[in-house]
Amino acid sequence: MLKVLRTFYGFIFEKKTIFIVFMFLVLISNILFSINPYFYKLFVDQIPSLNFNNLFKILLIYITVRIFAVISDIATFWVGDVILFKSSIDARVKIFKKVQDLDFAFHTEKSTGSLISSFKRGDSAFFSFFHDIHHRMLSVLISFLVMLYFFAQLNWIIVVLVSASIIIILAVTKLLIANNMNKRKVFNKEEDDISGIITDNLINFETVKLFSKEVWEEKRLKKTFIPWLKALWGYGNSFRLIDATMGTIINISIFFIFLLTINQSVNLKLTIGDFVLITGFLSNFYPKLWDLVWSFRDLAKNYADIEKYFGLLNFDIKVKDPVKPTFKKNVKGLIEFKNVSHSYLGGTKNAICDFSLTINPGESIAFVGKSGSGKTTITKLLMRFFDPIKGKILIDNINIKNFTKATLRGFFGVVPQEPVLFNNTISYNIAYGLSSHRKENKKARMAAKLANIDEFIEKLPLKYETNVGERGIKLSGGQKQRLAIARMIVSNPDIIIFDEATSHLDSESEKLIQEAFWKEAKGKTTIIIAHRLSTIQKADRIVVLDKGKLTEIGNHNDLLKRKGIYKKLWDLQIS
């Protein structure tokens, strides 16, 4: 709890001066509202004198206090919102940045639906936390202290009874809230599973329709609702337990305090005005005490959400930037792998084992091999999505760990196997490769022409302002691939990585993509992950991988003559 509060107030205290003003206003407004019962006593004590002037003076003071109370209360909420709105933005931006900075491995293991839920519920909890602590809980605390001050002037036994009831209520509330928090966490987990299924289904709706799995997906969702409903009942019943227990304790407390007050009044130890004052304070305070229980209850409900939300800040970034990084705007493209080994998730089997290779500036290298041979791992290590467990990788004789990840990845232009586009315009998606979007239209058009997709775009009704849909769903595979090449072209990279994805495309699309790619790759260091071997005959060298090891290297003709793995793969494809 303390860790969550430290993080929470770390954002709030960004506006420390305004927060001090806010707390002063909270104090003033609640004191002014809380002293109302004292005026009831003054009225009752003055009525027997039948002095209208005195009663009128009390009335003027009473109304003035109430007006100032309302004004200060409005000011409290306004100043509080000034702090809250800015702080919530700061929190969301900081957590978003942290999630963006987290390693590739984090995102492969995390559910998108769960992360979206964490952001939505966490931001909502941030607002509720602020309101519950500063507007509800502080209000009860200030009212309690004001009430004790006046009760202490009358009878210390009443002070003891009220204080004892508060202590008992807080102790029992702590136990009940702990139970409520645990139930909430269990429910949140089940809710995340539901969100994950719905999100996954919406992202893959095309696959669902292709295999006519609508009914199956509906049944899968309904099945997941079984543990969800059980968790929801457990969570809901924990609230009923709080209601029953707190209601009993509060009513017993009120009974004994009123019993003592009546006894003192009958024995003439309290005046009628004193009785009205006590009755007024109790009538005002115990509903607020019930509100305090609700505040704790809401705090508990939101605690699980905000803990998970802030918990994203606690994930460790394993691939870290250097303390004193090397900065280079451009590189020649000399790449050296020196005895590099890597395994995933601490596995004993290496995805890459003692891999050594030098790629010369301007050279084109193709990696081939069976699935799981380590082709993709090499590019992921090169871009520092992971760090190798052994060996080192150099670019222009500089260890890539000496660059920041942003600087390092700025050297590369990547055309992925399955391009994923933003739900935005064609122009936006192409220009995403630029450091600045100020000249996006002009550069996007130039890149589109080089990528052999300009003619297609110009035939669209909105041309470059056409929205491509979520993940580029409105475009064909070949069109997305050429758009990805255009995006790579505008970034003007020093090193190109082409995770070739032409094996499932028609011959015309493949031809256009290959033409666009080799046109841009001319004179630049180029790495190709090859699936269709006929597309890499132009490569200067072909590296054959098997079980994470380099087994063959040479150009296309050399490897065919050796009659090794490459020759077997070639024969399989041409047959």
- pLDDT higher than 70, residue 529: yes
The larger pLDDT score, comparing residue 188 to residue 338, is at 338
Q: Report the run of H or E that residue 147 belongs to, with start and end.
A: helix 138-154
If you compute the radius of gyration of the chain from its CA atoms, what whole number of angstroms results?
Answer: 35
Dump pLDDT digits (tens) for 84-108. 999 989 988 888 888 887 777 677 6
- pLDDT higher than 60, residue 457: yes
Dump pLDDT digits (tens) for 308-333. 888 888 887 788 888 888 888 888 88
Taking the domains of the chain in order of start, what are their residue ranges? 2-314, 320-410+540-575
Query: Which of 364-368, 529-533, 547-551 has the least mean pLDDT?
Result: 529-533
Determine the average pLDDT of the residues in 302-312.
Answer: 82
Note the pLDDT of residue 561.
81
The larger pLDDT score, comparing residue 544 to residue 299, is at 544
- pLDDT higher than 80, residue 210: no
Q: How confident is the model at residue 502 (pLDDT cuts 50, 70, 90)?
A: low
Q: Which CATH number does 2-314 carry?
A: 1.20.1560.10
Query: Which of 170-174, 324-328, 362-366, 435-439 has the least mean pLDDT?
Result: 435-439
What would the two tokens of residue 167 be?
């202590």
In angstroms, rounded to a whole number, what is the distance separating the alpha carbons of residues 230 and 269?
A: 56
Question: Can 2-314 and 320-410+540-575 be said to share one CATH topology?
Answer: no
Determine the average pLDDT of the residues in 407-425.
Answer: 84
Q: What 3 state SS string does 294-330 have?
A: HHHHHHHHHHHHHHHHHHHHHCCCCCCCCCCCCCCCC
Q: Report the run of H or E that residue 340 belongs to, with start and end.
A: strand 335-342
State the chain's mean pLDDT as an integer: 83
In angstroms, rounded to a whole number, what is the distance separating the alpha carbons of residues 121 and 3?
A: 19
**560, 566 contact by CB (below 8 A):** yes
In angstroms, rounded to a whole number, what is the distance separating the alpha carbons of residues 15 and 87?
A: 8
In angstroms, rounded to a whole number, what is the distance separating the alpha carbons of residues 90 and 93?
A: 5
In angstroms, rounded to a whole number, what is the distance separating the alpha carbons of residues 167 and 260?
A: 19
Note the pLDDT of residue 345.
66
Q: Alpha carbon 234 to chain centroid distance?
A: 27
Note the pLDDT of residue 25.
93
The larger pLDDT score, comparing residue 392 to residue 559, is at 392
pTM for the whole structure: 0.69
The larger pLDDT score, comparing residue 356 to residue 114, is at 356
Note the pLDDT of residue 79.
93
Note the pLDDT of residue 26.
92
> CA nearest 12: which of 87, 85, 81, 94?
87
Determine the average pLDDT of the residues in 538-560.
Answer: 85
**Domain at 320-410+540-575: CATH architecture:** 3-Layer(aba) Sandwich (3.40)
The overall longest dimension of the chain from CA atoms, in Å, is 121
For the chain, how many residues are written? 575
In angstroms, rounded to a whole number, what is the distance separating the alpha carbons of residues 215 and 110?
A: 27
Note the pLDDT of residue 74.
93
Percent pLDDT > 90 in the chain is 8
